[in-house]
Amino acid sequence: MLVDFHCHTEASDGSLSATALLDAMRARGVSICSISDHDTVAAYDALPHGSGLSAPRLISGVEINTTYSGNEVHVLGYGFSLVPDSPLRATMAANLRARRARVERMVAQLRASGYALEYADVVREARGAVSLGRPHVAKALVRRGLVRDVERAFRTLLSRGTPGYVAADHIRPHEAVGAIAAAGGVSVLAHPGRLRDEGIIAELVGAGLDGLEVFYPAHGPGQTAHFRALAERYGLVMSAGSDFHDVRWNVGGVGMEVEAGDLQPFLDLLARRAGNAPAATP
């Protein structure tokens, strides 16, 4: 079963429009997918309605950035309502404000260190993205000729211990899980293989976490087996996603091939939460 429940558009830190991303999914033969931009559902708001597209089936989604005990923890939400007064939109708005404040501090620190960068440069480089982040700062530094490439910008200016680094300050993952549930959605812990401390999984299960992103490109066979076992231990559903941002970085492109039986509990839960209609078909 070819699916993809984790990918990004130009509304956050991806390079494709929502329409172009869905075209890529369609060309690859992906049957079900979700756009999961960081802290925004602007991609869904921008999609044309009533266009008659039947494949892939599109599930509403978002990736909520959170911080906890000095660590970044990402929580994916699926199948929630996209209505303007959804309680999840307030959570996303708070994170977007924190993102803008973080970028402003990054720029101020870089300027204090002698790098002639303006906040407006970052906004221009974001090209209308709602969710600002370090990739936009890195691209602005490259555009200004202040650093050779994005990789070097991250390594020398935007990572911990460098002049432009500012720690993320988002909501706690427990709050994200609660906000997703309040909006009628399913919460899934993103790329658990990147966690510094897996103890957070048990905590979030207690807070109502529904699933783990077991199938992920950076997970080796051992990690996949490990997180499959954790999902079974805690009674969590399993999901799959490519974390696609850009063809230059994600050489495997969109889509993850997963056994249908492994995903069925996730799809069943989506159907139960959303009254058998979790799709947000454009």
Q: Read off the pLDDT band of 24 (50, 70, 90).
A: very high
Residues 242, 214, 173, CA angle at the centre, nearest 5°? 90
Mean pLDDT along residues 148-158:
95
Domains of the chain: 2-92+169-273 (3.20.20.140), 105-158 (1.10.150.650)
**pLDDT greater than 90 at residue 49:** no
Tokens of residue 147, six digits: 């650093």
- Token look-up 């300050």 returns 169
Q: Which of 135, 136, 131 is nearest to 119 (CA)?
A: 136
Q: pLDDT per residue over 159-187, tens digit each?
A: 999 999 998 888 999 999 999 999 999 99
Spatial neighbors of 193 by CB under 8 A, at least 6 apart, are 216, 218, 219, 223, 227
Residue with the bigger pLDDT between 282 and 113: it is: 113
Mean pLDDT along residues 142-150:
95
Residues 185, 172, 82, CA angle at the centre, nearest 5°? 25
**pLDDT greater than 70 at residue 55:** no
Tokens of residue 207, six digits: 């807070």
Q: Which amino acid is at 139?
A: K
Task: Give the pLDDT score at 126.
Answer: 87
Q: What's the rounded Cα separation, in Å, for the pair 164 and 257? A: 39
Spatial neighbors of 206 by CB under 8 A, at least 6 apart, are none
pTM (2 d.p.):
0.88
Task: Give the pLDDT score at 169.
Answer: 84
Q: What's the rounded Cα separation, in Å, for the pair 131 and 92? A: 10
The DSSP element (H or E) to which 66 belongs, if any, is strand 61-68
Task: Give the pLDDT score at 72.
Answer: 87
Q: Which amino acid is at 194?
A: R
Task: Give the pLDDT score at 130.
Answer: 83
- 245 half-sphere exposure, CB direction, 13 A CA radius: 9
Q: pLDDT per residue over 28-47, tens digit each?
A: 999 999 999 999 999 998 88
- Token look-up 């974001």 returns 126
Q: Which of 101, 92, 141, 98 is nearest to 121 (CA)?
A: 141
Q: Is 209 exposed, middle or buried (0-12, 13-18, 19+ CB in 10 A)?
A: buried
The crossing angle, in degrees rounded to 10, of helices 199-207 and 221-234 is: 40
Side-by-side strand order, sheet with 61-68: 61-68, 71-78, 186-189, 211-215, 237-240
Q: pLDDT per residue over 91-108, tens digit each?
A: 999 999 999 999 999 999
